[in-house]
Copies of this chain bind each other. A is one copy, B any other.
Amino acid sequence: MWPDFDQTPERNTGTPEITDVSTVVVDGNFPWTIVTLETDAGVTGIGEAYPSPGVHEVITDYLQPVLSGENPLDVERLYHLMRESLSGRGSQQGMGTIAISGVELALWDAAGKILEQPVYQLLGGKMREEVRLYADCHAGEGMVEAALDEQPTEAYEAAAYAKAARSAVDDGFEIVKFDLDVPSGREIDTLARHFDGPEIEHKRALVEAVTDEVGDEAEVAVDLHWNFSVEAAEKLCQALEPYDLAWIEDPLPPENEDAMAQLNRNVSQALLTGENCYGRHGFQDLVEQQAVSFVAPDIPKTGGIAETKKIGELADTYYMTLTPHNVGSPVATMAGVHVGATVPNFLALEYHARDVPWWDDLVDSDEPLIQDGRITVPDTPGLGIELDWDVVEEHRKT
């Protein structure tokens, strides 16, 4: 008698139906996996899944038949339906969740377009009129060129970091982030995750170069990409204490929240993690143990827009801050904008494509999407952008 997620509730008004779901992969600095969700309402929802093998197949071979004929306005019900349908085959974490996340973004875009509402209005309303982005500067200016020239060590010099920081700050970004898990030029056993004095000093000098360059013009964050042991992370944090960093990201491997909580008790800096955590349950231990200060779910990976909002609300009960991870195209980025518009404890969304000159060309607009380090929250229906399909086609991965 009681409906399950696969029973579409009836409506008095005309009920739109999903007719097809598919993906197009764009060859960016990651393989950006654009999800297209067709409806019989004259509207196509556009989403994006985190770049991952298998996602195209899960969406087209598996989720498409599950969703066909369903009402795209029932976004949260269909999220549960997709999870339930994959169930033991991996809907709680990993590729299954990534595929579901990509479709969830497309559902919100479709629902907004059908209802002629911006997505934020379907999430509780707008709290901000613009959303701040922070610039991921990777390993400094010249990293890409250096890699191409097979001279990778050149990239990891203080001057290259400072140059990249200056460029991002001049573009209006108020938080800049750099990789610190980079080679110093010395031979070390990185698998041991221990770093001796000269290694720590190499990283300290990179941070000093950046903070000297930007001063009070921007906050500086660093990313350790899971490469430190607890003791090595503590040592690095102590060395970085003078530089008042915004956060230290992913100091430890991602599986053990107890270790992160231990590190957090022992260091004075704010820690950030979350791009490998799936859904509220993936963040539950981190939040309840107060193991970090910033939670960074990747929206098209962790479960999508609504799940990320719930993660933000969970973090808010412990007065933590939401800073979503983002390595995506403008589609995933706009998902972050609508989350950021509606979650009070949101600080900034990552922007990871400063080295992709045609990132903006993917959007059918004369204006750049990001201006002065911010995106204006759009009042247009759905996610608020339309892709330029000629540019998509030009960079389509075959």
Residues of A within 8 A of B (CB): 2-3, 5, 9-13, 73-78, 80, 111, 115, 117, 121-129, 132, 280-281, 284, 288, 306, 310, 313-314, 317, 341-342, 344, 377, 379-380
Contact = CB atoms under 8 A, between A and B. Distances in A.
10 contacts: A2-B128, A3-B128, A5-B344, A74-B126, A76-B344, A77-B127, A80-B344, A121-B122, A122-B122, A124-B306
A110 B313 CA distance: 24
Nearest to A116: B115
A32 to B, nearest CB: 26
Contact of A127 (B9, B129, B379): B9
B124 A281 contact: no
Nearest to A9: B129
Given A117-B115, A122-B121, A127 B313 contact: no
Nearest to A283: B317
Nearest to A380: B12
B9 A128 contact: yes
A75 B379 contact: no
B125 A280 contact: no
A283 to B, nearest CB: 9
A196 to B, nearest CB: 41
Given A74-B125, A115-B115, A310-B310, 4 more contacts: A12-B379, A12-B380, A280-B317, A313-B313
Contact of A121 (B80, B115, B341): B115
Nearest to A122: B122
Nearest to A376: B10
Contacts of A121: 73, 115, 122
Contacts of A5: 127, 344
B122 A313 contact: no
A127 B344 contact: no
Contacts of A306: 124
Contacts of A313: 280, 310, 313
Contacts of A2: 128, 132
Contacts of A127: 3, 5, 9, 74, 76-77, 80
Given A127-B5, A317-B284, A342 B122 contact: no
A281 B314 CA distance: 10
Contacts of A74: 125-127
